[in-house]
Structures are given as structure tokens and as C-alpha cells.
Structure 1
Amino acid sequence: GRRTGPARRPAASPRRPASARRPAATPPPQTLLYHKPKGLVVTHSDELGRETVYSRLTSDAALPAALRQQGALHAVGRLDQNTSGLLLLTTDGRLLHHVTNPTAHSRAAAGSYAEGGGAVSKTYVARVARLNASAVERLRRGGVGLGGGLGESGPAEVELLEERGASCTLRLTLREGKNRQVRRMLHGVGSSVIELRRTHVGRLCLGGLAAGEWRLLSASEIEASLGYAAAGETAPPPLSSGEGGGGEGGGG
């Protein structure tokens, strides 16, 4: 028979550049420390048409473009409309869980971010209708009925900063995160909140940030201040109407 020529190899497909073959790198998580002004609500959308923290931030051209996208940031707890102060917003669902869930900590509590093995501490300065020494002691001891099916408050650190006329100013540090807890606690001892501002979450503080200003946190700062180190890929924050675990940031 007739000899055939050597078998032809199929033409090689064009080689793709190495960059095209690699999977896209997962962007590192980002967390924002924001000085929430009074008057904004902490929700992605508001049925009453009130201005939200997210609409304010996404209109800020100084914020990185990736964080201005709808749904990119999620609040770590909430502050109600009439409460100002420190609010964390993050792309890291595990960080959100770590701060808002008392059982989420993967290592023993240490320092002020989680003393006593509870959730990360939150500190507030409140101007309130004047109360007596026994009411202050009840706040410290815990056991104040909160109403709304929330049971009773746990122990809190309470420091009297100033007394002026019919009002006084307190500094309160809580390690639990029940809905509108500071306001409920004060109501439970016969007082009421005139003005409320959150100053610290763990060891993080507002510093010199004016209302409406923000700054990005480094991973090392988050670990030192909140006892949290991101590991591997981050879980997406949960999307829910009760965003961030505990209305008003667990305590406001």
C-alpha cells in the first residue's frame, strides 16, 4: 500500500497570558470607623425616607470606590437615629460576628475589648435626667428590667462625670448588645436619656474625628483593639433587616 506521511499534531491552542489563567485574588477586607452624626438611620433602605448612614457614605467621593457600591459595607451593630458616635462598618462578616456575638471569640478575652468573656465592650457618654446614688448602683449591679421581652441588664461600668441642674452626665461601658439598651436601662431606673454618644468599641475610640468623618482601620489596629485577626477568606456579612446584631449597636 501507499505510505502515508507522518501524523500531524493538532495545532496548539494559543497560550493565554499567566495573568488570565490565575483566579482573581480576593480583595482584603476593609473596615471603616465612622463618627455617625445624630439624625441618620443605620439601615440600607428606610421606608420612611429618612437619610441613612449608607446614602451619606456612598455619596462621599473620598471613600474608596469599592466601598461606595451598594451593599459593600455592613454596620457592626447599630446606633439609633438620635444617637451619635462611633460606628464600625465592614466588608468582613466574621469581624461583624466577632464584635456582636458574645460566644464568637476564638480566644480567651483579654484587656478592655472583652473583659469577663463577654462581647466586645461598648462605651457611651450619656446626658440624662438626674438620678440618685441608688439608681447608679442598680445600673452597675445589673438586673434592671429592659422591657420588650429583653429580660434584665447585666453588670455595667458606670462613672458619674458631671452633675448640672436637673441633669447629669454618665459614662457607661456595656458588654452585651440588646436593642436600645442604654435608653432602656435608664428608663428602668426612673431616668431618661437627653443626649447619647458612643465613644468606644473595644479599644477603638473616636479620637479627633468630627461628626460625619471616617477613617479606614488597619488589620493590626483591628487585632489590637478588638482581639480579632482575619484568617483566610472572609465570610460575607449577613443581609438582614436586623443588620449588625442588636439594634442600636448593642447598647445605644
Structure 2
Amino acid sequence: MLIAFNKPFGVLCQFSGADGRRTLAEFVRQKDVYPAGRLDYDSEGMLLLTDDGGLAHRLTDPKHKQPKTYVVQVEGMPDDDALERLRRGVMLNDGMTLPVGVEALSSEPDWLWPRDPPVRFRKTVPTSWLRMTLREGRNRQVRRMTAAVGLPTLRLVREEVGGYALDGLAPGETRVLDAKVTPRRP
């Protein structure tokens, strides 16, 4: 079984032991499925869950380099240099990242839902949106990469994993996918 879940902001990618914080148990009713990867508490969007260990391995093992695509609201306006640095890879405290696909978006994607709670608005600090596709999954990698080029992340929403996309799935909702169907590739 393969399940797509649109993880809301402020939900842990675990089913129990959350010290009063919201968990997957509040949303996912299917039994014996586990997250194939993770998404930080303060990030939103696509999370895949499965009962198939082999499939989970193919989706999460770094050697398979499954693409993960995010839309990212950042503080500031990216210039060509910042975008090129992201495309080439960025030196982080745990080493150089692989190159990423990145594009500056002209505005917030129209399919994106309002965040609850909203991102803090500051009149004097402009924000912009990026779409980034990574093929590795280091801890808080997107946030660390954007910060390294002077563009701190304000909001992070994963829209695709391994070619499986949100495709209109609302926050907190699940959809059973056919794991035998080859997903679209970015």
C-alpha cells in the first residue's frame, strides 16, 4: 500500500510519543503504514507512507536519488548569483550538497493553501518564492541551503516525492496511490 498525505504545518512525522504535539495518528487511519522519509515539523506538503519496506527503501535511500520538489518562500529577493550557487551546490557544515534544480517563481503558486498560522509579515522585508528539486535528503537541507546564500526560508512546502505529486490533495488529507503505476518524472 502507498499513501500520499498532505502534512499540515505543525505535525510530527510519527504516530506516537509527541509530548502533546500533533502526529500522523490524527490524520492517517490506515493501519501498519509508516512514513517513507520525513518532513520537518515546521514544513508542509507531500509525505508518502507505505507498508512495503522495499518501496520505502527505493523512495528514501540516497543511492536511488529520488527527486523531491519543494516550493519555498524566502526572505529577500534572489539574484542570479544566489540561484547559480544553489544550482551548483552549496557548502554546508556537513559537506557540499549535490547540485539542485532551482527557479525563481514570479509569485506564490496559485494552488497553495494559506498556512495556519500564517508566516509573519514584515512591511520592510520583501519575500519571494523558489521551486527547488533535490536528489538527496539531508536534515533541514533546503532551509540550510537557502540560508547559506542569504535567503532564509520562511515557508517550505514539498509538492512531489519520486514523481508522486500532491495533485490537489488538501492539507490533512490522504489518498491511496497505486505503487505499481510508474509516477510522472519531473
Q: TM-score range by the shorter chain?
A: 0.7 to 0.9
Indicate which of 58, 70, 73 corresponds to 1:124.
70
Classify the secondary structure of the residue corresponding to 1:87.
strand
Classify the secondary structure of the residue corresponding to 2:22.
coil
Match of 1:17 in 2: none
- Structure 1 gaps of 5+ residues are 1-29, 59-66, 104-117, 228-252
CA contact (8 A) 2:13 2:24 kept: yes
Match of 1:138 in 2: 85
Cα distance between partner residues in 1 of 2:38 and 2:179: 22
Cα distance between partner residues in 2 of 1:48 and 1:160: 38
Is 1:162 aligned with 2:106? yes
CA contact (8 A) 1:186 1:192 kept: yes
TM-score (ref. length: structure 1): 0.62
Report 1:56-95 matches (<5 A): 56-58=27-29, 67-68=30-31, 72-95=32-55
Is 1:216 aligned with 2:149? no
Cα distance between partner residues in 1 of 2:52 and 2:127: 40
CA contact (8 A) 2:7 2:46 kept: yes
TM-score (ref. length: structure 2): 0.83
Classify the secondary structure of the residue corresponding to 2:99.
coil
Cα distance between partner residues in 1 of 2:62 and 2:169: 28
Q: Which amino acid aligns with 1:122?
A: K
Classify the secondary structure of the residue corresponding to 1:220.
coil
Indicate which of 35, 54, 58 corresponds to 2:6.
35
Instruction: Using CA pairs under 8 Å that are at least 6 residues apart, name the structure with larger relative contact order, 1 or 2.
Output: 2
Match of 1:44 in 2: 15
Could you list the per-position Cα deviations for residues 204-252 of structure 1 after superposition, in whole angstroms to 9, with x for gaps in the alignment?
111121111111111332xx1189xxxxxxxxxxxxxxxxxxxxxxxxx
Match of 2:156 in 1: 196
CA contact (8 A) 2:72 2:130 kept: yes
CA contact (8 A) 2:7 2:44 kept: yes
Report 1:11-22 matches (<5 A): none
Match of 2:112 in 1: none
Cα distance between partner residues in 2 of 1:84 and 1:175: 18
Q: Which amino acid aligns with 1:225?
A: P
Give how far 1:192 is off: 0.7
CA contact (8 A) 2:27 2:173 kept: no
Could you list the per-position Cα deviations for residues 111-154 of structure 1 after superposition, in whole angstroms to 9, with x for gaps in the alignment?
xxxxxxx5110000001012322111100011x1222xx21211
Indicate which of 128, 132, 138 corresponds to 1:172.
132
Cα distance between partner residues in 2 of 1:169 and 1:226: 24
**Structure label with greater radius of gyration:** 1
Give how far 1:54 is off: 2.7
Structure ranking higher in strand proportion: 2
Classify the secondary structure of the residue corresponding to 2:28.
helix
Q: After superposing the two structures, state which structure 1 stretch, 93-102 or 45-54, moved more.
A: 45-54
Give how far 1:93 is off: 0.7
Classify the secondary structure of the residue corresponding to 1:97.
helix
Cα distance between partner residues in 1 of 2:40 and 2:155: 12
- Structure 2 gaps of 5+ residues are 109-124
CA contact (8 A) 2:12 2:18 kept: no
Give how far 1:97 is off: 0.8
For these two proteins, the number of residue pairs brought into alignment is: 168
CA contact (8 A) 2:70 2:160 kept: yes
Structure ranking higher in helix proportion: 1
Give how far 1:49 is off: 2.1
Cα distance between partner residues in 2 of 1:83 and 1:41: 10
Classify the secondary structure of the residue corresponding to 1:85.
strand
